[in-house]
Structure 1
């Protein structure tokens, strides 16, 4: 799997709620830095996504993707389950051994 494949799979499984597969894509010490919080650890992230996030059935649209050997930057749009645009985002993914180690999210 290329780094782009890993990141594209991340959005697919997140949108489909495939949390077992999502776990496989993340390092154990995964960190997600968001404008509103930092989620530290793969298990904490999986729990947040499955149980605590405010909108559980969102859809990520990837509008553009830029990558190097270990960094993937995604520009996209997040939609609510109703199809309404929620916000635009840019995610910076750091990849280690074909798994996502960190994501830094910027929203606009």
Structure 2
């Protein structure tokens, strides 16, 4: 179930389905990434919908590692055929919602 939630996270972002994205995240969701930290589900969804610099990107997932409440994903962010960067995301899932996400990039 947690792996399904995490896979849905990428599909909703790539599909620009922001209400569905909102439903996957816990209200207190925190996303830590190399360039900034987002605190709160509404802040993150607003950024993804209104402020992110590239909106025509897609996530290509190479591996998903299931450790119960922690799901790690290795993949890359693409803009068309252009590889923007590789990433490892570590999702913490609580009560069926993504509560925390830590992103590492190359």
Gaps of 5+ in 2: none
SS at match of 2:90: strand
* 1:39-58 equivalences in 2 (<5 Å): 39-58=38-57
Normalised TM-score (structure 2): 0.98
Show the counterpart of 1:95. 93
Q: Distance in 2 between matches of 1:48 and 1:68?
A: 29
* 1:1-108 equivalences in 2 (<5 Å): 2-80=1-79, 82-108=80-106
1:9-64 alpha-carbon deviations (Å, 9 max, x no partner): 11001100000100110000000001000000000000100111111121001100
* Count of residue correspondences: 106
SS at match of 1:94: strand
SS at match of 1:44: helix
Q: Distance in 2 between matches of 1:28 and 1:85?
A: 32
Normalised TM-score (structure 1): 0.96
Gaps of 5+ in 1: none
SS at match of 2:50: helix
Q: Aligned-pair RMSD on alpha carbons?
A: 0.6
User: What stretches of structure 1 move > 6 A for 4+ residues in a row?
Assistant: none
- Structure with a larger share of its residues in strand: 2
